[in-house]
Amino acid sequence: MIKITTSTNEPLYKQIYLQLKEDILCGHMSYNKRLPATRTLAQQLNVSRNTINMAYRQLEIEGFVSAKQSSGYYVNKISTLHQSLPKYSKNTNREEFKPKIKYNFQHGTIDSTTFPISKWKKCLNYANDVIYDSSKFTSIEKEGLYELRSSIANHLYEARGVDCTPEEVVITSGHQNSLEILSKLFINSEYSFSMEDPGYNVTRNAFEHLNYKMNFISLEDDGICIDEVKTLSSTLLCVTPSHQFPMGAVLPITKRIDLLYWANENNSYIIEDDYDSELRYHSLLIPSLYSLDINKRTIYLGTFSKSLSPDLRISYMVLPPPIFSKYQESYKICSNPVSKIIQLSMSKFIRDSDYEKHLNMIRTFYGKKNNLLISSILKYFKNDAEILGGDAGLHIIIRFKFSLDREKLIKKAVSNHILLYPLDILWANPSQSPDNLIILGFGSIKSEDMEDAVKQLYKIVNDSIL
């Protein structure tokens, strides 16, 4: 039965529409059932016929009902999937359906308190002044704002040894956008795609989606297996040489040189994903693969999502000249996806050395968290756990010296308000993921909570041992 109220700001026609819609979705009004005549329903609810007509018209627009001339409105056939949807009340507290997470060990998370809000606001104010000063108004090139590309080129040369011009830099709206662009710059019938296994599943999905032939290269203790790489030609090889994701290895110089020589001799390109190279805690930064490449066979990918915030949606690529020419041709009628205000702000942030100062700050900040996490693991797990990749980044891998039911562990962790990440999806074949490995991201856990988070994890792991 339809009920309306005047104690809400919701229009009467919308109240009627929503209740009829719910009745149809829940199956209370079955296929081909005739809706009440507009005059009859108007009299019952003491509203105008126009109010009923507006409600019925909205249902018709959305495909819930159809009007038959001189007959009225009839319910359309709605799939059982929709009919099985639960009723939703506007006053329902949706939070109660979400698990309350106290400690989030999901990798890729950052600590929002590190964001330099006051300095960023100054950069935003500068950007707004530029935007509203018509004498300085310029459109953004499809590659991105030249001012920002110049700032990034200077930063990369000083920080990563990447010697490039602003003309080789392309601004993108995130790592996934960079991958999508690259996947369309090559022809999948001419090039295959290769990557480390395990590796970042988003990278894998981007190229699988466009029907590239996929090659998955196994890892050794010091990174990707060069012998397997040497069997390939005419391929795009994506690697994370400065901090292998997820296992944490640093690719040694001998392997780097072998990779560059192989790419030049086998009509291949290397995609260097340098996603968290800034965050090294116990050694100097590792020189980029791009900085060693004299043959211009390396495509460099960088992002500000780990060092600043993923909400800014800003990343970049450095394309060697032949690939940059392909980009210009393929995207000649496209516009850049990142807003001018964000690009102007980011450029000033780098140009004023605020970004460099921020990087120094977060290296210290996350380095302390990293040390707290490792010391807590050693305290509670003692000799039962080996830590991998603990010198850099925002996650570590724990290799236990006993077997685990990892699915059971993840479920039990959630029920105890702890979020863990399912590591097996990082393998091309999830069944090959060892059960005694778990990945722990520590970016969003407070320093003062780190030991307790590991203590709680220790209790859950003990309950999950096979």
Rounded Cα gap, residues 136 and 448, in angstroms: 48
Residue 88, pLDDT score: 43
Query: Would you say 233 and 276 are in contact if contact means Cβ atoms under 8 Å apart?
Result: no
Rounded Cα gap, residues 304 and 294, in angstroms: 26
**What secondary structure does DSSP assign to 338-398, as a single string?**
S-HHHHHHHHHHHHTTHHHHHHHHHHHHHHHHHHHHHHHHHHHHGGGEEEESTTBSSEEEE
Q: What percent of the chain has pLDDT over 70?
A: 93
Q: Average pLDDT of the chain?
A: 88
Residue 209, pLDDT score: 86
Per-residue pLDDT at 192 exceeds 70: yes
Q: What percent of the chain has pLDDT over 90?
A: 58
Residue 101, pLDDT score: 85
User: 145, 95, 75: which is closest to 350 by C-alpha?
Assistant: 145
Per-residue pLDDT at 29 exceeds 90: no
Domains parsed from the chain with CATH numbers: 12-92 (1.10.10.10), 103-112+357-464 (3.90.1150.10), 116-355 (3.40.640.10)
226: tokens are 């060069």
Query: Would you say 159 and 357 are in contact if contact means Cβ atoms under 8 Å apart?
Result: no
Residue 138, pLDDT score: 67
Q: Which of 40-44, 52-56, 128-132, 300-304 has the highest mean pLDDT?
A: 300-304
Per-residue pLDDT at 466 exceeds 60: no
Question: 323: pLDDT confidence band, cut at 50, 70 and 90?
Answer: very high
Give the largest Cα separation in the chain, rounded. 85
pLDDT in tens, 355-409: 999 999 999 999 999 999 999 999 999 999 999 988 889 999 999 998 888 888 8
Residue 93, pLDDT score: 47
At residue 212, what is the residue type? Answer: Y
Per-residue pLDDT at 87 exceeds 50: no
Residue 98, pLDDT score: 57
Per-residue pLDDT at 268 exceeds 70: yes
Residue 381, pLDDT score: 94
User: 350, 355, 354: which is closest to 154 by C-alpha?
Assistant: 350
Rounded Cα gap, residues 201 and 176, in angstroms: 11
| Secondary-structure breakdown of the chain: helix, strand, coil percentages, each rounded to the nearest 5 | 45, 15, 40
- Sequence-distant (6+) residues with CB within 8 A of 46 are none
Query: Span 164-172, mean pLDDT?
Result: 96
Per-residue pLDDT at 170 exceeds 90: yes
Residue 226, pLDDT score: 97
Query: Span 231-244, mean pLDDT?
Result: 95
Give long-range contacts, CB 8 A cutoff, 24+ apart: 25-29. Answer: 25/78, 25/82, 25/83, 25/85, 26/83, 26/85, 26/87, 27/83, 29/75
pLDDT in tens, 422-461: 889 999 999 999 989 999 999 999 999 999 999 999 999 9
Higher pLDDT, 147 or 68: 147
pLDDT in tens, 89-143: 444 444 444 568 899 998 888 999 999 999 999 999 999 998 887 666 667 889 9
**What secondary structure does DSSP assign to 64-105, as a single string?**
SEEEETTTEEEEPP--HHHHTSPP--TT--GGGGS---SEE-
Rounded Cα gap, residues 358 and 356, in angstroms: 5
Per-residue pLDDT at 27 exceeds 50: yes
Question: 2: pLDDT confidence band, cut at 50, 70 and 90?
Answer: confident
Q: pTM higher than 0.85, yes or no?
A: no
Residue 422, pLDDT score: 82
Per-residue pLDDT at 283 exceeds 80: no
Question: 169: pLDDT confidence band, cut at 50, 70 and 90?
Answer: very high
Residue 67, pLDDT score: 86
Per-residue pLDDT at 182 exceeds 90: yes
Per-residue pLDDT at 45 exceeds 70: yes
Query: Would you say 246 and 426 are in contact if contact means Cβ atoms under 8 Å apart?
Result: yes
